[in-house]
Amino acid sequence: MTQSVCILGVTGSIGQSTLKILNQHPDKYSVFAVSAHSRISELVDICKQFQPKVVVVPKQKVDELAALFVENELRNIEILTDQEGLVSIASHPDVDVVMAAIVGAAGLLPTLAAVKAGKRVLLANKEALVMSGEIMMQAARDHQALLLPVDSEHNAIFQSLPHNYLEAERNGQPQQGVSRILLTASGGPFLNHSLEQLEKVTPQQACKHPNWSMGQKISVDSATLMNKGLELIEACHLFSISEHFVTVVVHPQSIIHSMVQYVDGSTLAQMGNPDMCTPIAHALAWPERLQTNVPALDLFEYSQLNFQAPDIQKFPALDLARQAMRAGGLAPTILNAANEIAVAAFLKEQIGFTNIPQVVEHTLQKLENSVADNIESILNKDAVARHVAQQYISSIGG
């Protein structure tokens, strides 16, 4: 019996990798619904190949999509729009698996809807968990949803933990002999740049990651190390572990995707070529394994693996994220909102690369933190933080 899959963010890099895996295993998976924010012609090509029943796009893209559907004789695909459409397909009773791959805060409500509907949720949208934290994890427990990490680092941690680790009592302390999580980071394209060089970085340079093929926003986050900061927060929630038990390790080759240390001195690592098809296939089929076209790791090709501590003087975003996790409440929501606004401004060349963490720090200092007790308070604080960040950008931008 095939499993029915919904892909939120199908035209992005994670969505495309997911389709590769599904295409290899048509006997196991079918595509029920997809969403896309842009790249409408690519979306139509996907619909021609995978024949989903429902598609979600922004309201302003409906006419363009409908016209292309007529032109390509795609007559039986329902078109839904905006957040309501995303929530609808993520929680649809005919869906078994939801790939949550929408970038940024826009992925929060549909991801939470999928969790509350008790789906197998493949979590590639780290911002949803950064913003909602314990609300998301409690909803997964309450509704028996299976929340599986797709980020290569968190998937590696998941594979390196005891098989029933997530079933243990959750109190922030390591369980079952675990002593520490080692979260690896490539260091991004500017690992060896000086502060002076970082001030002159262009959006084009920031979007060229040395190891991974990613969208613009995630590429910039990787370059500032904010991506690793968001992943640190995500790891704390996913594995119910306090931030001081998570160490970030810069590993430029991106071969070891993360590690778990144990009290007996053991360190377990998950290794593999840097290809997102591997963690996607793992999360899709867990606890079993799927065949992929990712080549097995050739250890003789990599004669040396390097590790170093992150430089938080050059990359303060990582420390800002750790501080936000330590503060708890709505601080991670503020951090994420300000970062999204700052990255968008950098990509439009309104601010410089080194201004990105400055915008985040200013917004965190400007806004009062409070308890994240419901989704409404989270969304309200997200909106306020975006406004404050935008005001600050206007004051410093060209």
Q: What is the pLDDT of residues 263-309, one digit of tens each?
A: 999 999 999 999 999 999 999 999 999 999 999 999 888 878 999 99
The domain segmentation of the chain, as residue ranges, is 3-149, 152-272+299-314, 328-398
- Cα–Cα dist 246/109, whole Å: 27
Q: Is the pTM of this model over 0.85?
A: yes
Long-range CB pairs of 356-359 (<8 Å, 24+ gap) are 356/220, 356/224, 356/226, 356/317, 357/224, 357/226, 357/315, 357/316, 357/317, 357/320, 358/396, 359/389, 359/392, 359/393
In the numeric block, the tokens 């001195």 are attached to: 265
DSSP for 362-375, written as a single string? HHHHHSPP----SH
CATH fold match for the domains 3-149 and 328-398: no
- Cα–Cα dist 330/12, whole Å: 28
Q: What is the pLDDT of residues 80-108, one digit of tens each?
A: 999 999 999 999 999 999 999 998 888 99
Judge whether 7 and 18 are in contact, CB under 8 Å.
Answer: yes
- Cα–Cα dist 262/223, whole Å: 30
Q: Fold for domain 3-149?
A: Rossmann fold (3.40.50)
Distances (CA, A) of 101 to 76, 138, 175: 25, 21, 29
Q: Fold for domain 328-398?
A: Rna Polymerase Sigma Factor; Chain: A (1.10.1740)
Of the candidates 392, 376, 383, the residue with the CA atom closest to the CA atom of residue 109: 376
Q: What is the pLDDT of residues 365-385, one digit of tens each?
A: 999 999 998 999 999 999 999
Per-residue pLDDT for the chain (398 aa), expressed as one digit of tens each? 899 999 999 999 999 999 999 999 999 999 999 999 989 999 999 999 999 999 999 999 999 999 999 999 998 999 999 999 999 999 999 999 999 999 888 899 999 999 999 999 999 988 899 999 989 999 999 999 999 999 999 999 999 999 888 776 667 889 899 999 999 999 989 999 999 999 999 999 998 766 656 678 989 999 999 999 999 999 999 999 999 999 999 999 999 999 999 999 999 999 999 999 999 999 999 999 999 999 999 988 887 899 999 999 999 999 999 999 999 999 999 999 999 999 999 999 999 999 999 999 999 999 999 999 899 999 999 999 999 999 999 998 65
SS3 readout for 19-36: HHHHHHCCCCEEEEEEEC
